[in-house]
Structure 1
Amino acid sequence: MKKGVILTALGGIFWGLSGTIGQFLFQNYHLNTTWLTTMRMLGAGIILLIICFIKDRKKSIAIWKHQSDVIQLICFSICGLMFCQYSYMTAIYHSNSSTAAILQYLNPVFIMLYTCLVCKRLPYKKEIICILLAFSGTFILATHGNIHEMNITPLGLFWGVMAGLSASLYSLLPRNLMNRWGSLIPIGYAMLIGGIVLGIIGKVWTIQVSLDFIGIIGVLGIIVIGTALGFSLYLLGVHYIGAMRASLIGALEPVSATFFMCVWLHSSFTVFDLIGFILILSTIFILSYKKEA
């Protein structure tokens, strides 16, 4: 149990660090979000697949022998992971790593609304509370309580909400795949496929990038520490403590993103940000508690 908690916590912390590194690169090197997201996905996909092939080469290849799994994998790669990674990085570009990470945690509310729609039922009392908390938290983050003034840009808010929506798709789409093939194989291939598709759509080979040594280290940090290692540690933690507990501990991502943003980038974090932060993250604990009941 203790080992699983530590592994999951490290995964969440590394995700938060990844977002802050992304903010640093956007601020200091003016990187294109499509380019950075493509490099992140391609690099992490290659690393994760190398790990998969070392662990079980036959299983890593066998996924391509099942047509239904291939279709699901492609859908997950583009509609789930690519959308999730791109919207998150774009939210950081238009706001900051802390706000993007917090808004991404609207995803449990989107999943809950999807469940209500599929099951053709109205939300339960606790679910209604979560919807109100999520909207209140988003409103406070965006306006700091002043309806006449936006604290973040409209694009920052839009892509932050899209990050939450895409994170819910990322959670829902691969369930059957992960039941059959585990987590690393689908995510490794999805990273690679999503990176290739995004790179082609964005024509990344035409994008001019100027990086010095620190910039290169930053990009490698996002790929290796923030993505490949972050996912690997988190999924290993899930193996020990289960998905529900892991999702709660994974909420360290916005906490760590805020910490690194304030300490490293010297960004401000107000009381209103803290209130919005708490309101949105509280939905995770409320919905998870309901699951246990």
Structure 2
Amino acid sequence: MDKQSKSRLWTILAALAAVMWGISGLFAESLFKVSSKITPIWLTQVRLIISGIVLLIIATKPFSVLKDKKNTLHIIAYGIFGLLPVQVFYFIAIEMANASIATILQFIGPFFVLTYLAVTHQQVLRKLDVLAAILAFIGVFLLSTHGNFNQLAITPLALFFGLLSAVGEASYTLIPVKLVKRVSSLVVTGWGMLFAGIGLMIVYPRFPAIPNTPRAWLDVSAIIIIGTIIPFQIMANALRYVKPSTVSLLDAFEPLSATVGSVLIFGLVMSGMDWLGTLLVIGAVLALNFTPKRNIKKS
């Protein structure tokens, strides 16, 4: 297979991985409907620990990274301040609202990254970045209110935790930047998940009596396999053949799949303002990845 064919194949697979992440939110929504005993914290513990172990089994030489104390502390920070909040706040938002809202709110994480870089690294914001940020938050406003200025369409807590998951998405993106240049992303993610899951168990050592039903364990298995292990593997390999900017654009399939799935599976009723808000958020995030080509003058 030539280079162009490989690039095309892995582009399709990267889009499929984004769809899988979106679909995993639907399985989480289904799981929370099984029983009130199933909590976002319990689901986060299970997902992080099992997924972390599996990723480390798949990875090459996973223990060598722990020989360096600095790397180990970096991975622990990544797990506790990156992977943990992006997971637990996302599941809380799903439980309080739905998979569509939670995924779209989490999708605005790049704007928190942009804000952080502008404040700490004096990164100059383009006019396009500012416009995109305004459009994104107009989109969030429309989703939160259905365009009705007098009341929220979702609870303030659901909006709060959805935005916290976006902050978690930002820290999840920023913390491992330097580390993944030296260490395999599978190793970093695997240990990060394992440390985060164990840390959450230590802080919150409660294990509810989960209903032993096929539906419950099917949902949990799908969240771990379809929502974590397979897409992480795909993305780790896709970046060898596909530009990171292209992969970022393909991430738009995640909120789209979650929204369409919520409509088709759970009968979520989306108003015109909801669809407009969704498209504004997705379009705004995609705009961040737009870099106009420079005109090169011939001498």
User: Given the two structures, how large is their TM-score scaled by the length of structure 2?
Assistant: 0.92
Task: From 43, 52, 59, give the equivalent of 2:50.
Answer: 43
Deviations 1:43-95 (Å, cap 9, x if unpaired)?
A: 1111111101xxx22xx211111122111111001000011111111111111
Residues 140 and 177 (structure 1), Cα distance of their counterparts in 2 relative to 1, 3 Å cut:
same
Provide, for residues 94-133 of structure 1, a one-character-per-residue CA deviation record: whole Å limited to 9, x for no partner.
1100111111111111111111112335632112102211
Conserved 8 A contact 1:108-1:283: no
Q: Is the 8 A contact 1:38 1:195 kept in 2?
A: yes
Q: Is the 2:142–2:274 contact (alpha carbons within 8 Å) kept by the matching residues of 1?
A: yes
Matched, 1:29 2:35: yes
- Which of residues 79, 102, 105 in structure 2 aligns to 1:103? 105
Q: Equivalent of 1:185, from 181, 184, 187?
A: 187
Question: 2 CA distance for matches of 1:181 and 1:237?
Answer: 17
Amino acid in the other structure paired with 2:198: I
Query: Structure 1 residues 39, 121: CA separation in 2 closer, same or farther (over 3 Å shift)?
Result: closer
Of structures 1 and 2, the larger Rg is shown by: 2
Residues 197/208 of structure 1: CA separation in 2 closer, same or farther (3 Å cut):
same
Report the CA distance shift for 1:235/1:271 in structure 2 as closer, same or farther (over 3 A): farther
**How many equivalent residue pairs?**
287
CA distance in 1, matches of 2:113, 2:291: 14
Correspondence for 1:145 among 144, 147, 151: 147
On the 8 A contact 1:101/1:253 being kept in 2, the answer is yes
State the alpha-carbon separation in 1 of the partners of residues 35 and 12 from structure 2.
33
Identity %: 31
Q: Which residue of 1 aligns with 2:91?
A: 89
Q: Is the 8 A contact 1:4 1:237 kept in 2?
A: yes
| 8 Å contact kept, 1:91–1:159 | yes
Q: Distance in 2 between matches of 1:103 and 1:203?
A: 29
Distance 1:259 1:98 in 2: 8
TM-score, normalised relative to structure 1: 0.94
1:12 aligns with 2:13: no
Shift of 1:262: 1.6
Q: Which residue of 1 aligns with 2:297?
A: none
**Cα offsets for 1:21-58 (capped at 9, x unmatched):** 00011122221110011111111111111101xxx22x
**Structure 2 unaligned spans of 5+:** 1-6, 295-299
The alignment yields a C-alpha RMSD, in angstroms, of 1.5
One-letter amino acid of the counterpart of residue 173, structure 1: I
How far apart, in 2, do the equivalents of 1:21 and 1:118 lie? 38
Question: What corresponds to 1:120 in structure 2?
Answer: 122
Deviation at 1:281, TM superposition (A): 1.1
State the distance in 2 between where 1:20 and 1:291 align. Answer: 36
> Residue type matched to 1:224 in 2?
I
On the 8 A contact 1:91/1:100 being kept in 2, the answer is yes
Return the offset for 1:208. Answer: 2.6
Tell me whether 16-25 or 112-121 shows the greater mean CA deviation. 112-121
Report which of the two has the higher share of helix: 1
Runs of 4+ in 1 over 6 A off after TM superposition: none
Distance (Å, rounded) in 2 between the aligned partners of 1:147 and 1:280:
19
Change (3 A) 1:25 1:237: same
- Conservation of the 8 A alpha-carbon contact between 1:29 and 1:211: no
Q: Is the 8 A contact 2:252 2:286 kept in 1?
A: no
Deviates more, 1:21-30 or 1:183-192: 21-30
1:1-293 to 2 correspondences below 5 Å: 1-30=7-36, 31-52=38-59, 56-57=60-61, 60-120=62-122, 123-205=125-207, 207-290=208-291
